[in-house]
Amino acid sequence: MKTDSPASIIQEILTTSPPAFTNSEAAGIAADIYGIHASARLLVSERDQNFKLDTGDGQSFTLKISNHAEKLDVIDFQNQALIHVATRAASLPLPRVMPALDGQLHSSVERAGKTHFVRLLSWLDGTVIHDSVVDAELAGRMGQLLARLDGALSGFDHPGSGLPLLWDMKRAAGLADLVIHIKEPDLRKVVDKTLDTFITRVKPVLGTLRTQVIHNDMNPGNVLMDRKHTDKIAGLIDFGDMTRSPLIIDLAVAAAYQLHAGDDPLAGALPMIAGYHSVEPLSETEMELLTDLVRTRLITSLLIGSYRSILFPENREYLMISYRAARGALENLENLQSDEAFSRICRACADRPAS
């Protein structure tokens, strides 16, 4: 019997193959639904399909074809969130939702008896930030951008914001069954310890923290730099992991990608944390939990990546990029004590007070 329990929804999305439309099929969808005649090029994605559309007159768009397990409420939630932010903070460099020929913000296509929702977004031109070196100044500006986005999202809500999401860190305890897929014994011990800390120390406090809709995925591949002015952030993309969750989780996700290699991993994340705090001041409790939430994000990447690489070996290379990075960062954090991390975060934020 089909059930829509949170666990079953997450499991369905976790185990469902991404769509498999070709470039030519995507171009046909764009023409039929949006009246856009363009070439289509497949972009890298985990559970959906994204295509870059290039028209003959120099315009570009992003065509998004969702996994068939995705819920309509989630699609509308993402659309409405982008519209909300465009209204409240039009200067933020985010994609815009483009209507179909019939005026709707989403449509659908059928493949092998499955329905896939389709959307069109404006294209943000730029180079992904992992092609650049992120120094302390840029990390701080990334933190400020995320805080500005969170400020614009404050007060926004939607029925789709609370649906179960694979990458929603407040649900990390539900990933415990995936630990068996971590085959390295020493790494598995670290994952077990981190998950236990989340369950016993972090999760009981999350319900007391500021909660709102968050972007939930400011990884370097989702941040674009201007091609001409290489020190300018040109855009933040990929709103597919948005959810309603404690606000501090948004910063924890972003900070997890800024850790330095070597003996002082936290040094790379501190400028971003301080930049965020200068726009959206953090509470003492949020600062206390931040490092444990960063660790939780890292094991989330490990657990989901290891499991999906088994299910979808053809996508293993892409999935393992995040896996390898998360493993290294988690191991580097192993000797960092929570009280030391908290003290350094407090100092960094005090050195860059709220503006």
pLDDT tens-digit series, residues 27-64:
999 999 999 999 999 998 878 999 999 999 999 999 99
10 Å Cβ neighbour count for 133? 7
Q: What is the 3-state secondary structure (H, E, C) of 166-235?
A: CCCHHHHHHHHHHHHHCCCHHHHHHHHHHHHHHHHHHHHHHCCCCEEEECCCCCHHHEEECCCCCCCEEE
SS3 120: strand
| pLDDT higher at 191 or 321 | 191
The pLDDT-based confidence of 131 (bands split at 50, 70, 90) is low
Cβ atoms 174, 7 nearer than 8 A: yes
Angle at 307 between CA 180 and CA 315, to 5 degrees: 155
Concatenating the DSSP letter of every residue in 256-303 gives: HTSPPSSS-THHHHHHHHHHHHHHSPPPHHHHHHHHHHHHHHHHHHHH
The pLDDT-based confidence of 11 (bands split at 50, 70, 90) is low
Q: Name, in order, each residue with C-beta under 8 angstroms of 341's C-beta and a sequence gap of 6 or more.
A: 266, 290, 291
Domain 6-123 class in CATH: alpha beta
Q: Measure CA of the first residue to CA of the last residue in the chain; give whole Å.
A: 54
| Of 91, 85, 30, the residue nearest 62 (C-alpha) | 30
SS3 142: helix
* Per-domain boundaries in the chain: 6-123, 128-351
Q: Name, in order, each residue with C-beta under 8 angstroms of 123's C-beta and a sequence gap of 6 or more.
A: 52, 53, 59, 60, 61, 62, 95
Kindly report the pTM of this predicted structure. Answer: 0.93
Write down the pLDDT at residue 4: 47
Write down the pLDDT at residue 320: 75
CATH topology of domain 128-351: Aminoglycoside 3'-phosphotransferase; Chain: A, domain 2 (3.90.1200)
CA dist 56 to 26, 37, 38, 39, 40, Å? 16, 8, 7, 8, 12
Write down the pLDDT at residue 47: 80
pLDDT at 353 exceeding the cut of 80: no
CA dist 281 to 148, 197, 310, 350, Å? 12, 25, 41, 10
Write down the pLDDT at residue 275: 97
Write down the pLDDT at residue 29: 98
pLDDT at 118 exceeding the cut of 90: yes
pLDDT at 316 exceeding the cut of 80: no
Cβ atoms 299, 330 nearer than 8 A: yes
Angle at 38 between CA 42 and CA 123, to 5 degrees: 65
pLDDT in tens, 150-161: 999 999 999 999
The pLDDT-based confidence of 109 (bands split at 50, 70, 90) is very high
The pLDDT-based confidence of 7 (bands split at 50, 70, 90) is low
Among 58-67, 192-201, 255-264, 270-279, the minimum mean pLDDT is found in: 255-264
User: Where is 154: in which H helix or E strand?
Assistant: none
Among 15-24, 109-118, 179-188, the minimum mean pLDDT is found in: 15-24
| pLDDT higher at 17 or 43 | 43
Write down the pLDDT at residue 2: 43
| pLDDT higher at 276 or 113 | 276
